[in-house]
């Protein structure tokens, strides 16, 4: 049987730790929310993961319990007597975080001859600064100075999405410039010719 949700495998195909992440995605997408996870509605959830036997069913339940213990999902008994899985606020943050790290910038076919500078000045107590810098480098930014990164294409939304998720958006400045002192170096570095 093929699964109906892109990227979701059958229960047998999951390695250790992968199933919980995909269950969180299913709940976040509304596939599991509102689908009872106690009999008889369990079959609706299991239909997506196609378990073969008791071992694979237990694997699914253990993952659900893991998510519940870590505060990512909540299992509530509704008036109809069935248990339902709901995404918590913490689970939503975790789910959004996975998307943040997979986020990539799209490059237009032609350069608009403008530079995007991202400046930041984090207080000493901020511990997530390295994650922000790492994501800028993952986007393809080049370091202009210690707390200044440069990029040749529009990326305001993506930069602020990462900053907001890391709770650093108050310390970020985004500047669009048409001319910089050592422009030739960066034109070559970004292969814009």
Q: Residue 155's closest CA among 101, 104, 89, 86? A: 104
Average pLDDT, the chain: 79
* 147 pLDDT more than 80: yes
Domain encompassing residue 41: 11-100
What CATH number is given to the structural domain containing 81? 1.10.10.10
Whether residue 129 contacts residue 119, with contact meaning beta carbons closer than 8 Å, is answered with no
What CATH number is given to the structural domain containing 113? 3.30.70.240
Most confident of 4-8, 12-16, 38-42, 70-74: 70-74
Q: Are residues 83 and 124 in the same domain?
A: no
Residue 2 lies in a domain: no
pLDDT at 22: 75
Most confident of 40-49, 77-86, 120-129: 120-129
> Considering just the CA atoms, what is the radius of gyration of the chain in Å?
22
In 10 A of CB 145, how many CB atoms?
A: 9
């Amino acid at each position: 049987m093929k699964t109906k949700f892109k990227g979701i495998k059958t229960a047998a195909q999951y390695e250790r730790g992968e199933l919980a992440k995909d269950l969180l995605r299913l709940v976040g997408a509304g596939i599991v929310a509102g689908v009872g996870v106690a009999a008889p509605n369990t079959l609706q959830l299991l239909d997506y993961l196609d378990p073969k036997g008791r071992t694979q069913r237990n694997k699914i339940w253990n993952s659900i319990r893991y998510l519940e213990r870590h505060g990512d999902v909540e299992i509530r008994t509704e008036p109809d007597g069935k248990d339902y899985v709901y995404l918590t606020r913490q689970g939503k943050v975790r789910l959004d975080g996975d998307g943040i790290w997979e986020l990539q910038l799209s490059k237009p076919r032609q350069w608009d001859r403008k530079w995007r500078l991202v400046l930041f000045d984090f207080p000493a107590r901020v511990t997530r600064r390295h994650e922000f810098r790492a994501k800028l480098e993952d986007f393809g930014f080049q370091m202009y100075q210690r707390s200044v990164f440069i990029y040749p294409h529009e990326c305001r939304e993506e930069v602020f999405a990462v900053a907001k998720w890391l709770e650093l958006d108050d310390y970020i400045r985004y500047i669009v410039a048409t001319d910089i002192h050592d422009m030739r170096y960066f034109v070559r570095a970004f292969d814009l010719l």
